[in-house]
């Protein structure tokens, strides 16, 4: 759908990323409208764990582009490929930070709808630590949508990545914050097991499995995993949204409480 370039602001010298809609899609009014909507939503998301869009522009020859901060780091998906099953202490930090960023967006009635490891950047800080930053609100849906956006966010249109979509999203039903909680639960499961909680020979079969069955117990893929933490993750992936945590903040608090330990206060700071 787009190409992303590393750039430098000639006035400030800051590193930036420029996302350019492909020429073919720039001529498609629906795609342009979607990108403009992405910019309008993401410009409102000024938060340390969300990648903010700084500007929307158009070149003289009609190319549409977005300007964003350049995040130096590593995709969560790439980190998972390197380390396999992630240590709970490390993974929990990233999950709580994601809960914080999602909750901030949800309070503005914005739902991500496409949360996955490829959309989470682990940004390297000056002190050498990593911070999880959620990227690409390109499929984001405003829960109180403008009528002019109805065609792009209409119920019944399935948008997202099949392996991480909630059952209600698969069915094309109305979604809310609990759909992002579900997706983050699957992200967490993959972080800690290097496996997905639903099995199938294709993304379509995995979608059907989420509609008909329960996630595979985490302990099947990783013995010795803290039972309380597993219980929290399984609750986040409940088929019925009413059985999940109602907010990303509640999910984050449950993760911290289940993990316990000396890091609880430090982790809770990420939620503020």
The CATH number covering residue 61 comes to 3.30.200.20
* 114 assigned to active site: yes
**Residue owning tokens 């993990």:** 259
> Among the options 28, 114, 146, 240, which is catalytic?
114
DSSP tag of 113: S
User: Same domain for 181 and 65?
Assistant: no
User: Same domain for 117 and 248?
Assistant: yes
User: Same domain for 52 and 173?
Assistant: no
**For the purposes of burial, counting CB atoms within 10 Å of the CB of 24, is it exposed (0-12), middle (13-18) or buried (19 or more)?**
exposed
User: Same domain for 165 and 262?
Assistant: yes
pLDDT at 152: 36
User: Same domain for 53 and 181?
Assistant: no
User: By C-alpha distance, which of 201, 232, 204, 207 is closest to 218?
Assistant: 232
User: Same domain for 219 and 155?
Assistant: yes
User: Same domain for 63 and 136?
Assistant: no
Tokens matching residue 149: 């956006």
User: Same domain for 82 and 125?
Assistant: yes
User: Same domain for 227 and 240?
Assistant: yes
Query: Rounded CA gap, 251 and 189, in Å?
Result: 14
User: Same domain for 136 and 8?
Assistant: no
pLDDT at 160: 59
pLDDT at 143: 52
Is residue 103 a contact partner of residue 247, using CB atoms and an 8 Å limit? Answer: yes
pLDDT at 149: 35
User: Same domain for 44 and 144?
Assistant: no
Q: At which of 30, 52, 69 does a domain end?
A: 69
Name the pairing type of β-strands 120-124 and 15-21: unpaired
User: Same domain for 18 and 123?
Assistant: no
Q: At which of 20, 37, 69 does a domain end?
A: 69
pLDDT at 145: 43
Is residue 172 a contact partner of residue 88, using CB atoms and an 8 Å limit? Answer: no
The set of residues, in sequence order, having a beta carbon less than 8 Å from that of 123 and lying 6+ positions away, is: 71, 72, 73, 130, 131, 132, 133
CATH value at residue 250: 1.10.510.10
Q: At which of 43, 69, 95 does a domain end?
A: 69
pLDDT mean values, one per 10 residues, the chain (272 residues): 90 93 79 75 89 89 89 95 94 97 93 92 93 79 44 40 83 91 96 88 75 85 94 95 97 95 88 85
Cβ neighbour number for residue 151 with a 10 Å cutoff: 10
- Domain assignment of residue 239, given as a range: 73-269
- Count the domains in the chain: 2
């Amino acid at each position: 759908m787009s190409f992303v370039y590393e750039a430098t602001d000639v006035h400030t010298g800051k590193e930036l990323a420029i996302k350019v809609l492909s020429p073919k899609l720039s001529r498609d009014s629906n795609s342009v409208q979607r990108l403009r909507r992405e910019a309008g939503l993401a410009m409102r998301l000024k938060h340390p764990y969300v990648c903010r869009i700084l500007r929307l522009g158009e070149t003289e020859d009609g190319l549409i582009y977005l300007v964003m901060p350049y995040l130096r780091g590593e995709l969560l998906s790439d980190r998972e490929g390197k380390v396999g099953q992630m240590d709970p202490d490390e993974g929990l930090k990233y999950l709580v930070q994601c809960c914080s960023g999602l909750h901030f967006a949800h309070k503005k009635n914005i739902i991500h709808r496409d949360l996955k490891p490829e959309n989470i950047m682990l940004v390297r800080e000056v002190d050498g630590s990593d911070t999880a930053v959620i990227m690409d609100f390109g499929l984001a849906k405003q829960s109180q949508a403008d009528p002019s956006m109805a065609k792009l966010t209409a119920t019944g249109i399935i948008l997202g990545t099949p392996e991480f979509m909630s059952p209600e999203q698969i069915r094309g039903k109305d979604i809310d914050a609990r759909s992002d909680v579900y997706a983050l639960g699957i992200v967490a499961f993959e972080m800690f097991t290097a496996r997905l909680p639903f099995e199938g020979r294709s993304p379509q079969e995995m979608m059907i499995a989420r509609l008909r069955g329960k996630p595979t117990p985490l302990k099947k893929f990783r013995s010795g995993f803290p039972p309380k933490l597993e219980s929290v993750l399984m609750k986040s992936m409940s088929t019925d949204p009413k059985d999940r945590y109602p907010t990303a903040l509640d999910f984050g608090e449950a993760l911290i409480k289940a993990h316990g330990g000396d890091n609880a206060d430090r982790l809770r700071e990420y939620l503020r």
